[in-house]
């Protein structure tokens, strides 16, 4: 195996482990972020390179592994703990669905972060000011004064004290495949082109149930992440030592040939 091959193996290992360290650090920093889903690094081997020097026709060439590559991050969408807050504009989903929010350009994003509030225009928005997706049978700026009530399937009503006024339905979405979700940061996901997006607004069921006055915690397991951090740091150190050994060996070879 050539020196370049050993360098390649060490370098790809270090690059992959650096990505893993970044992912773990991001998980730890978001352990208290509402609705955050743990990101996981996924490693795979690069294609082997056949070494054919000094190999006869009857012999199999030596296959040398060229290192690893890493997927930047695959999400663990398992349910986080739901905790009551008592705030009427806080929502959590028990199940596989997502809330929808729309930016000022009309782009739809999915999120598990149900920490919403009303803005100055009377619209229900997330922390970025994106409008929460709903079928508003009454425009939000025309809702009567009173207490907002949202049922488990998203039906929205205002209790005025004398009557309950139906004002719409809060949307729940679920893509046909979770692998189609694209992490856009800030707890937001877009959906790959061509993905079927099911919604309770279109009559879809089994998307999950909404709990008002509650938020879903991050599903980060801090103990597991700290263990992953230690393992990745040690592996990075070993790859660094291997790279240094290869460099020393190459210097020795050059000194013999000089």
Residue 135 is inside which H or E element, if any?
A: strand 134-136
Phi then psi for residue 40, to 5 deg, are -130, 135
Is the predicted pLDDT of residue 176 greater than 90, yes or no?
yes
Q: What is the pLDDT of residue 16?
A: 77
Confidence of residue 237 (pLDDT cuts 50, 70, 90): confident
Q: What is the pLDDT of residue 19?
A: 84
Report the length, in residues, of the chain: 258
Q: What is the pLDDT of residue 189?
A: 98
Which residue has better confidence, 141 or 235?
141
What's the predicted TM-score (pTM) here? 0.79
Residue-averaged pLDDT of the chain: 86
Is the predicted pLDDT of residue 9 greater than 80, yes or no?
no
Q: What is the pLDDT of residue 247?
A: 63
Confidence of residue 245 (pLDDT cuts 50, 70, 90): low
Confidence of residue 86 (pLDDT cuts 50, 70, 90): very high
Sheet containing 181-185: give its strands across. 117-118, 124-125, 131-132, 99-102, 108-111, 188-191, 181-185
Residues 6+ apart with CB under 8 A from 200: 97, 153, 154, 169, 171, 172, 207
Is the predicted pLDDT of residue 98 greater than 50, yes or no?
yes
Section 189-197 average pLDDT: 95
Given a contact cutoff of 8 angstroms between Cβ atoms, the answer to whether 2 and 53 are in contact is no
Q: Which of 17, 71, 38, 75 is nearest to 230 (CA)?
A: 17
Residue 255 is inside which H or E element, if any?
A: helix 222-257
pLDDT digits (tens, 9 = 90+) for 200-214: 999 999 999 999 999
Q: What is the pLDDT of residue 8?
A: 64
DSSP conformation class of 121: T
């Amino acid at each position: 195996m050539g020196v370049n091959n050993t360098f390649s193996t060490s370098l790809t290992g270090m690059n992959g482990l650096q990505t893993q360290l970044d992912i773990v650090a991001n998980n730890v920093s978001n352990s208290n972020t509402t609705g955050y889903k743990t990101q996981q690094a996924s490693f795979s081997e690069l294609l082997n390179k056949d070494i054919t020097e000094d190999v006869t026709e009857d012999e199999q060439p030596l296959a040398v592994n060229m290192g690893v590559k890493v997927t930047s991050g695959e999400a663990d969408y398992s349910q986080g703990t739901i905790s009551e807050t008592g705030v009427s504009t806080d929502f959590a989903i028990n199940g596989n669905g997502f809330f929808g929010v729309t930016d000022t350009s009309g782009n739809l994003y999915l999120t598990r972060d149900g920490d919403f509030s009303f803005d100055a225009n009377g619209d229900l928005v997330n922390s970025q000011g994106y409008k929460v997706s709903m079928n508003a049978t009454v425009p939000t700026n025309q809702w009567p004064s009173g207490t907002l009530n949202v049922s488990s399937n998203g039906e929205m009503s205002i209790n005025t004290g004398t009557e309950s006024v139906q004002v719409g339905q809060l949307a729940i979405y679920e893509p046909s495949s979770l692998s189609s979700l694209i992490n856009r940061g800030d707890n937001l996901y877009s959906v790959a082109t061509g993905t079927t997006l099911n919604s309770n607004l279109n009559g879809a069921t089994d998307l999950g149930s909404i709990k008002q006055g509650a938020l879903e915690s991050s599903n980060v397991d801090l103990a597991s992440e700290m263990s992953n951090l230690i393992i990745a740091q040690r592996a990075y150190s070993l790859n660094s030592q291997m790279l240094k050994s290869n460099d020393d060996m190459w210097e020795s070879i050059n000194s013999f040939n000089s």
